[in-house]
């Protein structure tokens, strides 16, 4: 099957997720900076979530640059990823509205964890579909960064109950790891 519809659908879903997230930022009833102060936790969680969604969109785009075609299995696995990403607006709002308390921060980490796992499953499904000697298999390699991200998210979920801000900081750390451009796919395309 052609990959174009999968890419277009995924792009649309991620755009809708970002739109839903920004709609959670309510306009304050006041005209001074003090009126914005109660929005700080929600805005902080929004920034991290926007960056995470941007990272997924960017990596998804790069991933499908080395993919020639997709299968029905790949469509379902991609939908699995989009399911977890679609939960980001909910946990973002919950975490921000509750000032980064333990349970919402842990749930936020859970959604990030399952999104990361779903992305790993997607890459594995594409490698199986295209073969071990394919450009995508070469580009992904051992996927050290992906596996480390999953481990950090798992630790952060537990840590949220001891220190939710430290757990949140680890979520930021993972995002920073992924903000560094990943050249593996670009190298594989040369």
pLDDT-based confidence at residue 178 (cuts at 50, 70, 90): very high
In whole angstroms, what is the distance from residue 38 CA to residue 62 CA? 38
What pLDDT score was predicted for residue 1? Answer: 85
Q: Are 25 and 39 in contact (CB under 8 A)?
A: yes
Q: Are 171 and 112 in contact (CB under 8 A)?
A: yes
pLDDT tens for 39-88 read 999 999 999 999 999 999 999 999 999 998 999 999 999 999 999 999 99
pLDDT tens for 13-31 read 999 999 999 999 999 989 9
Q: Please name the residue that has the structure tokens 């990361």.
A: 116
In whole angstroms, what is the distance from residue 125 CA to residue 71 CA? 9
């Amino acid at each position: 099957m052609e990959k174009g519809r999968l890419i277009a659908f995924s792009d649309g879903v991620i755009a809708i997720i970002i739109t839903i997230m920004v709609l959670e930022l309510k306009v304050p009833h006041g005209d001074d900076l003090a009126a914005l102060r109660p929005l700080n936790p929600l805005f902080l969680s929004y920034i991290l979530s926007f960056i995470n969604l941007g990272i997924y969109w960017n990596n998804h785009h790069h991933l499908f640059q080395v993919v020639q075609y997709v299968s029905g299995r790949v469509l379902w696995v991609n939908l699995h990823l989009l399911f977890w990403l679609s939960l980001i607006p909910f946990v973002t709002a919950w975490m921000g509205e509750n000032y980064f308390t333990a349970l919402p921060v842990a749930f936020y980490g859970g959604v990030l964890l399952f999104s990361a796992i779903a992305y790993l499953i997607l890459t594995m499904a594409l490698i199986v579909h295209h073969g071990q000697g394919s450009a995508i298999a070469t580009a992904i390699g051992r996927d050290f960064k992906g596996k480390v991200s999953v481990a950090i998210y798992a630790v952060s979920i537990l840590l949220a109950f001891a220190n939710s801000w430290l757990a949140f900081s680890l979520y930021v750390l993972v995002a920073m790891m992924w903000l560094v451009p990943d050249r593996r796919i670009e190298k594989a395309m040369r």
